[in-house]
Chains A and B, each alone.
Chain A
């Protein structure tokens, strides 16, 4: 089942960077790291993914350690609308993406 470990909750001040950690010590060489989030009861929303290198898109940055056993999702300027449950997922990618969502981290962005 879930192959990742995340803290159950985190707080962040609005406008500050939110750094969400994830441990995935059993990750295989061909597995990707994905981050999704779920706002309220909506369907999960894709944020970013990576294999080895750090990645950045318009939403966030993903920092993966050199041994790939952990990663950090960075929301550079958190807003109140970023309050959500954030899921770190490892999966083989491509047409083999059977996601295990785990419990995630509830990020509370406060004014």
Chain B
């Protein structure tokens, strides 16, 4: 079974540019989460999709961040325009519904560097 995949693994962009991160969850997983760790800080929750609907987006830092999950499959997280403080590692996780939601499977992360 393929795990959660994220693309790209590393992205370096300049302040003011746009970057789109992609997450492919495990097939059949209805729940999809985005987290991030900025330098020296803890891993923070960003948002949670159930299929294509946003269940909880309380962790999104501001309106420069836009997440989508069209068709309830893969998800994208767009940062526009990127700021220096957006640098960090962005993790995606997925889980099944119901009792299977206890176990979130995390991807390897995308390391974003904004210069």
We find that the number of chain A residues with CB closer than 8 angstroms to chain B is 24
| Known contacts A2-B42, A95-B50, A95-B55, A43 near B108 by CB under 8 Å | yes
Which of B31, B56, B93, B101 interacts with A43 by CB under 8 Å? B93
Q: Are A49 and B102 in contact (CB under 8 A)?
A: yes
**Among A42, A43, A101: residue with most chain B CB under 10 A:** A43
Do the beta carbons of A44 and B91 come within 8 Å of each other?
Answer: yes
How many chain B residues sit at the interface, stated as a range, is 20 to 34
The answer to whether A94 and B101 have CB atoms under 8 Å apart is yes
Q: Which of B48, B98, B99, B106 contacts A44 (CB 8 A)?
A: B106
B103 within 8 A of A: yes
Mask, A65-99, CB within 8 Å of B = 1, is 00000000000000000000001000001111111
Q: Known: A46-B105, A94-B99, A95-B31. Is A100-B45 also a contact (CB below 8 A)?
A: yes
- A99 touching B45 by the CB < 8 A rule? yes
Cβ contact within 8 Å between A102 and B101: no
Interface residues of A (CB under 8 A from B): 2, 32, 34, 36, 38, 41-46, 49, 87, 93-103
5 residue pairs from A and B, CB less than 8 Å apart: A32-B102, A93-B101, A95-B97, A95-B101, A97-B102
